[in-house]
């Protein structure tokens, strides 16, 4: 199982091979692989690797341990636990280790392929929103603001929030993306800006504080973000800072859409603010910035006084009332429980 180690992008393209569930856990917790859909897909393959290393007389115990290890790596993203639970469910009727190995490999592949096809459909549905805005702009580009990285690096092949942008771009609709740098880990600066430029999509990198100003001056037509966990009434946990963009969009009457495959819904909870666990990460991510020096070397520099106390909340929750709609693989729905459940009646 190979991953792109995202810590080195955009400066270096490093591929790492993993042969055990412990390596997968480390890759997820150190954010070598990151992004809601991708950590789900990686966890699926993590369980497959656990079956390869399981003891034939302790299959159930070994797999349960692997499942716990994987789930505890990152608490906020629903896709991770969803993929692990799906694997355990599939494997519960297996009688031999051989059977477990082949079924878990097939399930891991299925999780990854499904992610790609769901995100492709999200792209088609979301494209219509961009098309409608473009129709009123007499050929001028649709300006879309995005936060963090919800692109093909964060999923399999398409991405959630970027899928409609790619679909619109491919259809010849002029688009331009404002990319929030996304402190502290800089997913926007390091990943989204690079990803969009690989696709030939015009984009401009902005510091995280810029979005509100752009919105006040009519320079943003649409905000499009992903999510790590969405409740049954449509509250959305996404990368820290998303809530502030939603507030600014609401104040400026700018549509704010969230794109997600159904694997991101947590059907067991309603109130996101009080029920979604928010990951807190180490101070070093706030205290240091990594990048490439003029000499072409990757280096990490300290940007505050050593030992400065830091808080590093990974996510915040945007309440459903600030969201114009959710773009899913089944279509676009208002962020309201009854509407969401009419798209997903099996969870009613
Ligand atoms: O901490 P990360 O980089 O794994 O963050 C998760 C995300 O990718 C974002 O919050 C994203 O906008 C959600 S959709 C992948």
Maximum Cα–Cα distance across the chain: 68
If one residue of 148, 276, 328 were mutated to test the ligand 1 pocket, choosing by the most ligand atoms within 8 A of its CB, it would be: 148
Residue nearest atom 8 of ligand 1, based on CA coordinates? 35
- What is the model's pLDDT at position 115? 97
- pTM of whole model > 0.95? yes
Which atom in ligand 1 lies closest to the alpha carbon of residue 314?
A: 1
Pocket of ligand 1 (CB under 6 A): 34-36, 148-150, 154, 160, 187, 225-228, 238-239, 314
Residue nearest atom 7 of ligand 1, based on CA coordinates? 35
**CA-to-CA distance for 183 and 181, rounded, in angstroms?**
6
Whether 284 is catalytic is no
Residue 312: phi, psi to the nearest 5?
Answer: -135, 75
Contact 327, 265 (CB under 8 A): no
Cα separation of the two ends of the chain: 37
From the candidates 62, 208, 221, 228, which is the catalytic residue? 228
Distances (CA, A) of 66 to 55, 63, 91, 273: 12, 5, 13, 29
**Residue 300 C-beta-side C-alpha neighbours within 13 Å:** 8
Expressed in angstroms and rounded, the spacing between residue 93 Cα and the centre of ligand 1 is: 33
Expressed in angstroms and rounded, the spacing between residue 192 Cα and the centre of ligand 1 is: 11
- What is the model's pLDDT at position 32? 98
Expressed in angstroms and rounded, the spacing between residue 115 Cα and the centre of ligand 1 is: 15
Which atom in ligand 1 lies closest to the alpha carbon of residue 37?
A: 15
- What is the model's pLDDT at position 2? 97
Residue 198: CB atoms within 10 Å: 12
Expressed in angstroms and rounded, the spacing between residue 195 Cα and the centre of ligand 1 is: 14
Per-residue pLDDT of the chain (348 residues; tens, 9 = 90+): 999 999 999 999 999 999 999 999 999 999 999 999 999 999 999 999 999 999 999 999 999 999 999 999 999 999 999 999 999 999 999 999 999 999 999 999 999 999 999 999 999 999 999 999 999 999 999 999 999 999 999 999 999 999 999 999 999 999 999 999 999 999 999 999 999 999 999 999 999 999 999 999 999 999 999 999 999 999 999 999 999 999 999 999 999 999 999 999 999 999 999 999 999 999 999 999 999 999 999 999 999 999 999 999 999 999 999 999 999 999 999 999 999 999 999 999
Which atom in ligand 1 lies closest to the alpha carbon of residue 38?
A: 15
């Amino acid at each position: 199982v190979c991953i792109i180690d995202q810590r080195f992008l955009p400066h270096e393209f490093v591929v790492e091979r993993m042969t055990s569930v412990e390596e997968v856990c480390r890759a997820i917790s150190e954010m070598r692989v990151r992004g809601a859909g991708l950590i789900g897909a990686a966890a699926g393959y993590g369980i497959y690797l656990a079956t390869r290393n399981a003891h034939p007389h302790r299959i159930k115990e070994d797999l349960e341990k692997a499942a716990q290890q994987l789930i505890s790596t990152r608490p906020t993203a629903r896709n991770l636990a969803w993929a692990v639970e799906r694997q355990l469910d599939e494997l519960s009727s297996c009688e031999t280790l051989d059977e477990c190995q082949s079924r878990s490999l097939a399930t891991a592949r299925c999780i990854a392929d499904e992610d790609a096809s769901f995100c492709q459909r999200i792209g088609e549905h979301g494209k219509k929103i961009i098309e409608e805005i473009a129709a009123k702009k007499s050929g001028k580009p649709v300006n879309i603001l995005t936060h963090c990285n919800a692109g093909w690096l964060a999923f399999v092949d398409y991405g959630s929030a970027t899928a409609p942008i790619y679909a619109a771009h491919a259809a010849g609709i002029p688009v331009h993306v404002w990319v929030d740098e996304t402190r502290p880990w800089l997913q926007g600066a390091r990943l989204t800006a690079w990803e969009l430029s690989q696709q030939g999509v015009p984009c401009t990198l902005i510091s995280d504080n810029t979005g509100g100003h752009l919105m006040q001056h009519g320079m943003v037509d649409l905000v499009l973000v992903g999510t790590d966990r969405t409740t049954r009434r449509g509250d959305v946990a996404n990368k820290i800072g998303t809530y502030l963009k939603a507030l600014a969009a609401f104040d400026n009457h700018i549509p704010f859409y969230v794109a997600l495959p159904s694997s991101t819904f947590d059907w067991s909870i309603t109130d996101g603010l009080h029920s979604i666990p928010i990951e807190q990460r180490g101070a070093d991510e706030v205290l240091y910035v990594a990048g490439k020096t003029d000499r072409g070397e990757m280096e990490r520099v300290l940007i505050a006084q050593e030992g400065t106390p830091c808080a590093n909340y990974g996510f915040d929750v945007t309440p459903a009332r600030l969201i114009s709609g959710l773009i899913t693989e089944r279509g676009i729905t208002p962020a309201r429980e009854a509407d969401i459940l009419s798209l997903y009646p099996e969870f009613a």
